């Protein structure tokens, strides 16, 4: 055991050796020195996807100032650079990212590799903004792939199984303003019936709930503001989320980077000592899937902090949670009760199995209940992994489980 853990403290890394390269040459030498090697950055995954049986590379030392090409609408991001850092550079150049996750503290490359997402019926996972990806493969050579090239859609959400990603280019959009408000004390039984329409009502919408009419259900709504704005008569108040200083600005129009994430980049993120899991179902199955989850409400109640329900637009990335389907994401933030959460997650996967549920690659799920058939291109991904890394240099237990399940 290494004595070091992920951000949440629910996984202790098992690597034999950790190194922090600061140049591409150092990465190449370290990759050559090990039979098994993996990379990590901000340590926000809740499972062992970033762990290594031998050598673990902390790539935060490869971070650099994001390079914005406003004429092309592209930002180049290196190493373990976080979304918060990228957002500041992009905003300073008068442009915007189309989507961000809840936490600006996460690394861009790690978020893309795991299919991490934000919210919005027209907003795709964060990796869908990638137009170019550069990775170092097992023999130490560097491969550049661009959107539209063969296999590009298999390389972006890669789970770290194909090589060490050195940098990516992200497509930008015109800058915009948002205002976010909270709709409080809603009825769960009504919201669950109307969930798709709620999720489609603004640029980005989150439904926060504890799955029962006995507790509040709330909407966190982020609307684009292109003209005049009439402020609400009363400030948004959330019984579920509270009014802690880590939340981004509410009730006031602000530039996109100050409202698109839930949490501020200059404060510690989320709730603290927690475990997270998340499952993705086709949008047309939303109502039935939510009812299936709600049947476990009493059992979840002692261990659940809050659930969040969001929309994600379809994309073409092979291992994306929204590959080829508009998607509803069902997220759980749990208290740090590992045994009880593991049991509940297994039960959730059982009740969601009829709805073609896909797990979030970077969060807690039960591999024994993982269904690879929900990914139409997973067989192609296995073939790609075998071509780019025939000896499995970038494999670990997590990757072995994915490849073995895919056959």
- Report the pLDDT value the prediction gives residue 49, as an integer from 0 to 100: 96
SS3 391: coil
- Per-residue pLDDT reduced to its tens digit, 77-134: 999 999 999 999 999 999 999 999 999 999 999 999 999 999 999 999 999 999 999 9
SS3 144: strand
- Report the pLDDT value the prediction gives residue 272, as an integer from 0 to 100: 66
Give the whole-angstrom CA distance, residue 24 versus residue 142.
Answer: 10
Domain residue limits, the chain: 62-175, 177-369
- Report the pLDDT value the prediction gives residue 379, as an integer from 0 to 100: 97
Q: What is the pTM of this model?
A: 0.96
Q: Which 3-state string (H, E, C) describes 32-100?
A: HHCCCEEEECCCCCCCCCCCCCCEEEEHHHHCCCCEEECCCCEEEEECCCEHHHHHHHHHHCCEECCCC
> Counting Cβ atoms within 10 Å, is residue 379 exposed (0-12), middle (13-18) or buried (19+)?
middle
Name the token pair of 167.
């940098």
Those residues whose C-beta lies under 8 Å from the C-beta of residue 67, and which sit 6 or more positions away, are: 75, 76
- Report the pLDDT value the prediction gives residue 2, as an integer from 0 to 100: 64
Topology, domain 62-175: 3.30.465
The radius of gyration of the chain from alpha carbons, rounded to an integer in Å, stands at 20
- Per-residue pLDDT reduced to its tens digit, 199-240: 999 999 999 999 999 999 999 999 999 877 777 767 777 888
Query: Position of tokens 């297994």?
Result: 346
> Counting Cβ atoms within 10 Å, is residue 156 exposed (0-12), middle (13-18) or buried (19+)?
buried
- Report the pLDDT value the prediction gives residue 257, as an integer from 0 to 100: 97
Topology, domain 177-369: Alpha-Beta Plaits (3.30.70)
Report the first-to-last Cα separation within the chain, whole angstroms: 30
DSSP code at position 124: P
Distances (CA, A) of 111 to 55, 351, 353, 367: 21, 27, 25, 20
Residues of the chain with confidence (pLDDT) below 50: 1
Distances (CA, A) of 9 to 45, 109, 361: 10, 21, 18
- Report the pLDDT value the prediction gives residue 271, as an integer from 0 to 100: 63
Give the whole-angstrom CA distance, residue 256 versus residue 259.
Answer: 6
Quick check: 330 and 279 in contact, CB under 8 A?
A: yes
- Report the pLDDT value the prediction gives residue 396, as an integer from 0 to 100: 97
Distances (CA, A) of 133 to 41, 60, 112, 113, 156: 17, 17, 10, 11, 7
Residue 272: which of 291, 244, 298, 233 has the closest Cα? 244
């Amino acid at each position: 055991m290494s004595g070091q853990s992920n951000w949440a403290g629910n996984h202790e890394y098992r690597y034999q050796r950790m190194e922090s390269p600061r140049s591409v040459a150092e990465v190449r030498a370290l990759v050559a020195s090990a039979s098994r090697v993996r990379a990590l950055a901000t340590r926000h995954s809740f499972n062992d996807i970033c762990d290594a049986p031998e050598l673990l590379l902390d790539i935060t030392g490869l971070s650099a100032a994001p390079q914005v090409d406003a004429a092309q609408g592209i930002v180049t991001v290196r190493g373990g650079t976080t979304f918060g850092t990228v957002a500041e550079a992009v905003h300073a150049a008068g442009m915007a990212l189309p989507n961000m996750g809840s936490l600006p503290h996460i690394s861009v490359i790690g978020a893309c590799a795991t299919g991490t997402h934000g919210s919005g019926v027209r907003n795709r996972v964060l990796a869908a903004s990638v137009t170019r990806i550069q990775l170092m493969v097992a023999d130490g050579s560097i491969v550049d792939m661009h959107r539209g090239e063969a296999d590009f859609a298999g390389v972006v959400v890669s789970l770290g199984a194909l090589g060490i990603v050195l940098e990516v280019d992200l497509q930008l959009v015109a800058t915009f303003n948002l205002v976010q408000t909270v709709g409080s004390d809603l009825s769960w039984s009504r919201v669950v019936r109307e969930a798709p329409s709620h999720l489609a009502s603004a640029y980005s919408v989150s439904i926060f709930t504890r799955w029962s009419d006995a507790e509040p259900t709330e909407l966190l709504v982020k609307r684009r503001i292109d003209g005049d704005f009439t402020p609400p008569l009363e400030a948004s108040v959330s019984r579920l989320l509270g009014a802690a200083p880590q939340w981004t600005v509410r009730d006031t129009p602000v530039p996109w980077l100050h409202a698109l994430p839930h949490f501020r980049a200059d404060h510690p993120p989320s709730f603290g000592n927690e475990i997270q899991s998340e499952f993705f179902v086709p949008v047309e199955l939303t109502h039935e899937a939510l009812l299936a989850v709600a049947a476990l409400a009493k059992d979840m109640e002692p261990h659940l902090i809050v659930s969040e329900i969001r929309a994600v637009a379809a994309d073409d990335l092979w291992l994306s949670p929204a590959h080829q389907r508009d998607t509803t994401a069902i997220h759980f933030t749990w208290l740090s009760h590992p045994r009880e959460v593991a049991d509940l997650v297994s039960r959730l996967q059982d009740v969601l199995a009829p709805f073609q549920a896909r797990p979030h690659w970077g969060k807690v799920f039960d591999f024994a209940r993982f269904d690879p058939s929900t990914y139409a291109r997973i067989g192609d991904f296995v073939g790609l992994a075998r071509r780019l890394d025939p000896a499995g240099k970038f494999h670990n237990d997590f990757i072995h489980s994915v490849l073995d399940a895919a056959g």
